[in-house]
Amino acid sequence: MSKFKTVIWPKVILFGDSITQFSFQANGWGADIANKLARKCDVVNRGLSGYNSRWAKIILPRLISSHSSADNNNNIAAVTVFFGANDCALEDKNPQQHVPVQEYSENLKEISRLLTSSGVSADRVIFITPPPVHEAAWEKECILKGCPLNRHNSAAGQYAQACVQAAGQCGADVLDLWTLMQKDEQDYTVYLSDGLHLSARGNQFVAQHLWGLLESRVADLPFILPYWGDVDAKDPESSLLCDQ
């Protein structure tokens, strides 16, 4: 039997669609958060391109075990839930991804309930609304794929509002990107690469605002394993195998 304890890194889980899946690309918002939390926390990318809240609710139990939740999930410092950009697709143009706004709201609440039942309390959950849609730019992408414009910014706004309300009802925090990116009539198009997904500035925007919500949840996490200068060079085991 081992004489020393296994080092367990706390986790921040990023759960979402393509905007989350792509967040570990160079200068991505997920990579920025992971860099900030190096030696303190594992940032786990569970982004699933093209997914909506209906499918997310179904697969979440496969991603976070409900068995021995006290052991498995107490080390989860935070979970971001970032869906809506696909749910808000227009039903007549993109029925595959579309989810009605009322069902979207219920799905988010069910995701929160599933997390709670797995030992991840609502105060560790951060909902993120879909960002705005730049219709002219996204329409060009749609045409390249041989389909008509399948998202409207006004629809994304309805889903963002539903996300904010669901978060309030669940007791979770929320990052309202749709509102923040358009605040004071600023040019939100600079935050989007193709009218839907994030540009470099958009990733920076998300990282900055998400860190504002995340920082308090990870502030007390210790630096894992001793600083190299504190390791006893003559007896490294005494430093490296202690219960830190």
- Residues marked active site are found at 18, 194, 197
Cβ atoms within 10 Å of 77's Cβ, excluding its own = 22
**Could you tell me which residues are beta bridge partners of residue 23?**
none
CB hemisphere CA count around 108 (13 angstroms): 35
38 vs 179: CA distance, rounded Å? 30
3-state helix, strand, coil in the chain (%, to 5): 50, 10, 40
Cβ atoms within 10 Å of 46's Cβ, excluding its own = 17
| 173-175 and 42-47 strand pairing | unpaired
